[in-house]
Amino acid sequence: MKKTAFVTGSSRGIGREIALKLAEENYTVVVTGRSKDDVEKTTAEIKSLNGEALSLVADLTTEAGLKEALAFVTKNVGKLDVLVTNIGSGKTLQDVIVDVNEWKRVFDINFFSAVAAINTFLPLLEKSKGQVVCISSIAGIEKISVAISYSVAKAAVISLVQQMMRPLAAMGVRINAVSPGNVWIENGSWDKKMKDNPARVNDIIQNQVALQKFVSADEIADAVWFTVKNSSITGQNIVIDAGQTRQWP
């Protein structure tokens, strides 16, 4: 029987590339998102490449959405081998003083969405002796030019992975994080920044990134697959940033 992967936020962007990669590696992938058109487009793309995929349109930042997801997986697949928590957004205020409700919103998207997904699917992962991969960010290990609340939320994701590693290992479940740097995606945030202010973007890439290049989404997907296939990796944070960070992860 094929192994199954559930990737939150996988209808576009980095999540889409992760879904495509896992399908390429012979996983049945549950493609998820809030846009029916995007979910169905990615699902169809996987199937056109002779992969297997199921579509789930749901808001996985909500309790109701996760309950629906668990029921969907249980009914349509009956098991789960890999959970990738990929929901996140850096869109927030850059100010030093930000209302606590905005902090909570940023944490709900970038941190608690991962916690809730793990809580929801852990019983299935324990049965399969499966694994979790959490998508964080280099913002979680080093101060870069993003909002403080986003950086702290992504640091919390990395800490979550490190703190959960031993108790999950006792259950036979592995957990790791992958932290991307500046990922170029067509119509993504860096594409939009390049169109708005190419001089500033080029300055960042040329002067702050050692390899002077963007990271591609498929490189992040490859890193996820590396942690999935290697049975001796757990509790780690894999940084894919083309040499932007200056301190150890």
Distances (CA, A) of 54 to 38, 47, 69: 13, 10, 12
pLDDT tens sequence across 46-81? 999 999 999 999 999 999 999 999 999 999 999 999
* Whole-number Å distance between alpha carbons of 104 and 129: 33
What value does the mean pLDDT take over residues 97-116? 95
The pLDDT score that the predictor gives to residue 30 is 98
Q: Which of 14-18, 105-109, 140-144, 154-158 has the lowest mean pLDDT?
A: 140-144
Both structure tokens of 51: 């992969």
| Catalytic sites, residue numbers | 136, 150, 154
The pLDDT score that the predictor gives to residue 186 is 86
Query: Residue 32: which H helix or E strand, with range?
Result: strand 28-33
Q: Which CATH number fits domain 4-183+214-240: 3.90.580.10, 3.40.50.1580, 2.60.40.2550, 3.40.50.720?
A: 3.40.50.720
Residues 90/150, Cβ–Cβ less than 8 Å: yes
29 DSSP β-pair partners: 5, 53
pTM here? Answer: 0.94
Which residue in this structure is represented by tokens 């964080």? 136
Q: What percent of the chain has pLDDT over 70?
A: 99
The pLDDT score that the predictor gives to residue 58 is 97
Any idea where the domains of the chain sit in the sequence? Answer: 4-183+214-240
The pLDDT score that the predictor gives to residue 182 is 94
Residue 241 has pLDDT above 60, yes or no: yes
Q: Which of 1-5, 37-41, 114-118, 215-219 has the lowest mean pLDDT?
A: 1-5
Q: Which of 10-14, 43-47, 108-112, 190-194 has the lowest mean pLDDT?
A: 190-194
Q: What are the start-end ranges of the H helices in 108-147?
A: 113-128
Query: Residue 165: which H helix or E strand, with range?
Result: helix 148-169
Residues 117/85, Cβ–Cβ less than 8 Å: yes
* Whole-number Å distance between alpha carbons of 29 and 11: 11
Residues in the chain: 249
Residue 218 has pLDDT above 90, yes or no: yes
